[in-house]
């Protein structure tokens, strides 16, 4: 479980996060919001890539602010993975395991995502979709309590998207706390237990998909989000 308390962050004169309070429970929470709503800054604050000006972030009631060793319980899937082009797929798997000082389990994931024939190929020679599959293996090959997925289906073919959904459902079954950002509302409706909607640096709504539909008086999530945005304006 992640607890975010009165989280605030300024970049220059711009208030990007304005006293955000949020509890992210086991299951999958989709973080939604328009551009410049604070989503990226919130995610980077949890990851320790941005230092908040005020507030606290706790994972399982332990503060992670400025504590690098607490970050090991977080698995992160960036939207665009930047790998050293001269390394092979096998070498990047070995390097990340060495950096984490932890043995991962990439074998079954390599099979699921059809990467067996690419293990000895250099990352710089792979297509964007294949690099995203490598990105997925690096994320799911370890076992930790918190998962942060930034646009996880980006560049994936339909079969790989299906495999990813199955893995996410399995992680939910294990009781993981999963945070996902995506622009694909059908994916949110299929996988999310809750939606947290950020607007202008504040938490505008948090609840189930049924609750957000009811609030907006719409039958589907995409129109519900659009209604909330137009109502705010």
pLDDT, tens digit (0-9, with 9 covering 90-100), for 103-114: 888 999 999 999
Q: How confident is the model at residue 120 (pLDDT cuts 50, 70, 90)?
A: very high
Three-state SS at 125: helix
CATH fold of 2-232? Rossmann fold (3.40.50)
Residue 229 reports pLDDT greater than 80: no
pLDDT digits over 72-95, tens only? Answer: 788 999 887 788 899 999 999 999
Q: Would you mind telling me the total number of residues written for the chain in this entry? A: 233
Q: What angle do CA 7, 12, 17 make, to 5 degrees?
A: 20
Please, where are the H alpha helices in 144-208? Answer: 158-173, 185-191
Residue 39 class from Cβ within 10 Å (0-12 exposed, 13-18 middle, 19+ buried)? buried
Q: State pLDDT tens for residues 5-39.
A: 999 999 998 999 999 999 999 999 999 988 888 89
Residue 154, number of CB atoms within 10 A of its CB: 18
C-alpha 25/C-alpha 179 separation (Å) is 9
CB 146 within 8 A of CB 26: no
CA distance 135 to 217: 38
Paired with 58 in beta bridges are: 3, 63
Contacts 24+ apart (CB under 8 A), 218-223: 220/185, 220/189, 221/185, 221/188, 221/189, 221/195, 222/185
pLDDT in tens, 163-205: 999 999 999 999 999 999 988 888 999 999 999 999 889 998 8
Measured CA to CA, the distance from residue 24 to residue 4 in angstroms comes to 8
pLDDT at 225: 83
Average pLDDT over residues 118-138: 93
């Amino acid at each position: 479980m992640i607890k975010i308390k009165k989280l605030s962050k300024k970049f220059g004169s711009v208030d990007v996060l304005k006293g955000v309070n949020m509890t992210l429970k086991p299951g999958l929470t989709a973080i939604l919001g328009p551009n410049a709503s604070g989503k990226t800054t919130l995610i980077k604050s949890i990851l320790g890539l941005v230092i908040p000006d005020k507030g606290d972030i706790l994972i399982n009631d332990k503060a992670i602010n400025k504590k690098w060793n607490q970050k090991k319980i977080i698995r992160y899937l960036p939207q665009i993975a930047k790998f050293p082009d001269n390394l092979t797929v096998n070498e990047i798997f070995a390097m990340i395991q060495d950096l984490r000082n932890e043995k991962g389990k990439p074998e079954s994931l390599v099979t699921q995502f059809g990467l067996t024939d690419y293990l000895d190929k250099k990352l710089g020679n792979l297509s964007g979709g294949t690099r995203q599959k490598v990105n997925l293996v690096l994320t799911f090959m370890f076992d930790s309590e918190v998962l942060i997925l930034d646009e996880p289906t980006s560049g994936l073919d339909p079969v790989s998207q299906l495999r990813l959904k199955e893995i996410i459902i399995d992680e939910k079954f294990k009781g993981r706390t999963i945070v996902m950002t995506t622009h694909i509302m059908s994916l949110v409706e299929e996988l999310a237990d809750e939606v947290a909607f950020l607007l202008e640096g504040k938490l505008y709504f948090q609840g189930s998909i049924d609750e957000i539909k009811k609030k907006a008086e719409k039958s589907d999530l995409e129109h519900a989000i659009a209604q909330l945005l137009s109502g705010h304006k």
